[in-house]
Structure formats: C-alpha cells, structure tokens
Amino acid sequence: MKANEGASADKRGRRAADFAETVRDAAAGRNPTVGKDGARPTGVGGKNAGGHSSRHDALWREGVEEVARQGLRRELPSAAYHPALSDEKAPLVLCSNDYLALSGDPRLRDAAVRAFDEDGCGSTGSRLLSGNSRFHLELEEELTDFTGCEACLLFSSGYHVNVGAIPVIAAKAEVVFSDELNHASVIDGCRLSRTKTVTYRHRDVNHLESLLKRSGKGPKLIITEGVFSMDGDVAPVAELVELARAHGAILMIDDAHGFGCLGPDGRGTPEEAGVTEGIDIYVGTLGKAMGAMGGFVGGSQALIDYLTSTARALLYSTALPPPVCAAAAEALRIVRSEPWRREKLRSLSDMLRRELRTAGLDTGLSSTHIIPVIVGSGDRALRLARLLEEKGYLTRAIRFPTVPKGSERIRLSLRCDFTEEALKALARTLGEEAGKLGLGRGL
C-alpha cells in the first residue's frame, strides 16, 4: 500500500470512529457538538459552530450599516405569537394573514395528522421526482372545482407561483402591463422574464387603455393583484376584463388576499366582480385565508400542461409536504360550507374602518379586511407600532420600499374571530396613540 493510500485509510477510519462516537453521544442525551473539554468544533469561517464568522464579514456589516442609514434595516421578531393558539394574555395579533381563522382549526390539524400517518412528513423531492403524492393531486382537483378553472397547478408558495409562472407566460408576450403597486413577487417574475414591462398607474384603467393602444398588435399580458396587499383596495376587475378582450391581452389576477374571502362563495375578486369567465390566469395562495401553505395557478389545461414542463420554480423545488396539502384541502371544504366566516370578516372590517375614519385616521382606499393606517414616515410608523404593542396590540410598521415613501403605515389585517368590542377598543387606542404623534384627532 502506498503511503498516501495508508494516510487516506487512517483518515477514513478516524472519521468513522468520530461518527460512531457522535451517534453514541446523541443516544445518551449528550450534546455531540461539545467536546469532552467543553470546546466546540471548528466551523465555517474559522470560528466554532454556532458562532461562524468570515473574512468577508466587513462586506456584510457595511451592507447592514447602509440599510440602517437609509432607515431600512429589518429585524425578525424574537418570537411571533400565533394568532389562533396564543393564550388570553397574549397581544391581539393584527399582522397575520389568517383571515378566516383557520390556521389553528382542529379539523386542519386532524387532516394533516392523517396524511402524516399515511405519507410521512416531507414530500422527499420535487413533484416531477418523488414528491407528487395523492394529497397533491386531490388538492388540485378540489381547487379546480372550486375556482371553475379547467385545471390548477400547485407550487410551494405564492411567491414561487409568480417567479415560476410569470417568466414562462410573459415570454409569449411582447409587453407586460403591471399595476404600479403589484406585489414584489410579481415584479420579480416580470424581471426574470426579460420581457418589456410597463407599469400603469394604480387601478387606473384609462392610463392602462392608453398604454395598450400604443403597444402595437403583438401579444400582451396584463397583471394585477386582486386585493392589494398593503392597501386593502380591490382591482377594477370588470373593467380590466373588458380592456383585455378589446385589445387581445392575456389577463392574470394574483388574488392572494382575495381568495377565500371575497365573493358570495369565497372564490375571490373575479366572483366579487361577477366576471369569473373573463380571467385567463388566476393565482391564489393557501397560506392566508386557507391557514396552510402553498400557492397555485389556475387556467386552461393547455396552460397548466405548459407550466408543468417549463416553470423552473416547480421543476426544481421540493414539493409541499403531504400533511400541508391535506390541511389545505380541508380548509377549502370549510370555506365552502361556512360562509359566516367571510361574512363576519367583512362586517368587522367595515366597522373598524368607520371607527378609524371617525378618529380622523387615514385608511386610504381600503374596502377589505386589510386596513392601512397611513402615517407618512418610517420613524412615525415604527413609533406607533411600539406604542400599540405596549397597549397589547401586535402590529407591524410597513415602510419603504414595501410601500412608496411618504405612505408608510401600520397595516391592520383582521380575522373573522375578532370581536367588535376588541376592535372598537383598538380604534380608541389607535386614535389616542396616533394623536401623540400629531395624527388624527387625538381621541
């Protein structure tokens, strides 16, 4: 045996012995990352595990300092309260997207447990490999029936839908028209497409029409949110359908915040507008009103067949876990059978909006369960969020670049299981605390 071969064999032997010792430590309840002398093993960047650093850290610190100078630094909260499972002493959570209060529903839990028992925790691969369980297929069938689309296709999140589907769809168009307040995932999808993208003024169909008239005769794609996530206003869906038909354009609605909540049967903004037949591509999410996780795109069978072969975010991403699919399917059944949830959500939203406007607060054009309180600066939004948390209300300050400068806000998102008493108390508190910052009437 050559010397270097012997050294390699010795090294492999030591690794095997180290691994065996690690397994024994774990089985005995000892921390395998701590040595007998209390020292931790060396990790990435030269520091021990749990405290990694890098010779490039100066670059990252410089980046953090730059966003801090711009007032844009974000920090993750130490621990978020689950809006459905927190105890009575927890704050009232007004920053979740759990609109129909389904995320903690025991029926979703039971459905997920049954799927776990049958198919395990993870999907083990992308949908084209090993990750396409019967729970994925059944959920797609449920979504297809509910939305009225010819077919639906599941993705791992709503963000995955837009960065996966939009580049494929936009590649067939000469120009994309996008509402100026569309979600970041729509913007990123348009950028990835490399197709010419033109933004039109928010909800301004006259501006869009003028742009369409100047765009030539080639294929066109119009993309809008259904309910705008930071403003709570609704796209003029009926007018957009008419424009798309008149100009031969493809119309795509991202209804992440309308799906399940709007329309007589919860089918979203197209149903609310009475134009379900006029939408070419419909995008929804399962992580908001449905209380689960994931996203989907609905449309013709030909579209879904095309995306199945070409959408990179589908092809190269691990599929949703089967228990999540089972929970989402159960949520969809509940949405269909319990209309009181969306009816109560609408009633509470209308009431709170009236109370806030009576207090002199600016709620913009909101007409849904998302209600902004526009304060006009990032510092003011942060201060108001802190004041509200001290009073028992968990909100978040929404700042540039999520919203345009000068429109910074507190974003209130409601759940159907809130009480009128709690929301009236919130409105009083908001009026008082906003008054300390020179906003509203300072009630």
The answer to whether position 77 is within a domain reads no
**Which CATH number do you get for residue 373?**
3.90.1150.10
Single residue among 311, 337, 363 that ends a domain in this structure:
337
Reduced to 3 states, what is the DSSP secondary structure of residue 203? coil
Q: Which of the residues 119, 225, 233, 280 is marked catalytic?
A: 225
* pLDDT tens-digit series, residues 390-405: 999 999 999 998 999 9
pLDDT of residue 267: 97
In which band, very low, low, confident or very high, does the pLDDT at 16 lie, cut at 50, 70 and 90? very low
| Mean pLDDT to the nearest integer, 296-317 | 97
The answer to whether position 61 is within a domain reads no
The answer to whether position 87 is within a domain reads no
Based on the domain organization, do 381 and 358 belong to the same domain? yes
Asked if residue 369 lies in contact with residue 95, where contact means CB atoms within 8 angstroms, the answer is no
Based on the domain organization, do 185 and 303 belong to the same domain? yes
Based on the domain organization, do 287 and 317 belong to the same domain? yes
Based on the domain organization, do 218 and 348 belong to the same domain? no
Reduced to 3 states, what is the DSSP secondary structure of residue 107? helix
- Counting Cα atoms < 13 Å in the Cβ hemisphere of 368 gives 27
Q: Which residues span the domain enclosing 326?
A: 106-337
The answer to whether position 327 is within a domain reads yes
Q: With 70 as the cut, is the pLDDT of residue 20 above it?
A: no
Q: With 50 as the cut, is the pLDDT of residue 13 above it?
A: no
Cβ neighbours of residue 301 closer than 8 Å, sequence gap 6 or more: 150, 151
Across 27-36, 49-58, 116-125, 236-245, least confident range: 27-36
Strands (DSSP E) contained in 79-231 are 92-93, 151-155, 175-179, 196-200, 220-225
Tokens describing residue 372: 């902004």
Based on the domain organization, do 283 and 320 belong to the same domain? yes
Q: Would residue 207 show up in a list of annotated catalytic residues for this protein?
A: no
Q: With 80 as the cut, is the pLDDT of residue 38 above it?
A: no
Q: With 70 as the cut, is the pLDDT of residue 46 above it?
A: no
The answer to whether position 39 is within a domain reads no
Q: Would residue 75 show up in a list of annotated catalytic residues for this protein?
A: no
Based on the domain organization, do 263 and 146 belong to the same domain? yes
As a whole number, the mean pLDDT across the chain is: 88
Q: With 60 as the cut, is the pLDDT of residue 419 above it?
A: yes
From the number of C-beta atoms within 10 Å of its C-beta (0-12, 13-18, 19+), residue 273 rates as buried
Q: Which of the residues 97, 178, 193, 366 is marked catalytic?
A: 97
Q: Would residue 225 show up in a list of annotated catalytic residues for this protein?
A: yes
pLDDT of residue 122: 92
Based on the domain organization, do 178 and 312 belong to the same domain? yes
* pLDDT tens-digit series, residues 339-350: 999 999 999 999
Domain count, the chain: 2
Q: Which of the residues 136, 160, 220, 288 is marked catalytic?
A: 288
Based on the domain organization, do 204 and 236 belong to the same domain? yes
pTM given for the model = 0.85
Pairwise pLDDT comparison (40 vs 217), residue with the higher score? 217
Q: Would residue 217 show up in a list of annotated catalytic residues for this protein?
A: no
Give all strands of the β-sheet with 175-179 in edge-to-edge order. 151-155, 295-299, 281-285, 249-254, 220-225, 175-179, 196-200
Q: State which amino acid sits at residue 44.
A: V
Based on the domain organization, do 355 and 325 belong to the same domain? no
Based on the domain organization, do 281 and 346 belong to the same domain? no
The maximal CA–CA distance of the chain, rounded, in angstroms, is: 88
| Mean pLDDT to the nearest integer, 233-262 | 97
Cβ neighbours of residue 359 closer than 8 Å, sequence gap 6 or more: 427, 428, 430, 431, 434, 440, 441, 443
| Mean pLDDT to the nearest integer, 286-301 | 97
What sign for the dihedral angle of Cα 234, 238, 239, 240? Answer: positive
| Mean pLDDT to the nearest integer, 110-138 | 95
* pLDDT tens-digit series, residues 250-292: 999 999 999 999 999 999 999 999 998 889 999 999 999 999 9
Single residue among 307, 337, 367 that ends a domain in this structure:
337
Strands (DSSP E) contained in 65-205 are 92-93, 151-155, 175-179, 196-200
Q: Would residue 56 show up in a list of annotated catalytic residues for this protein?
A: no
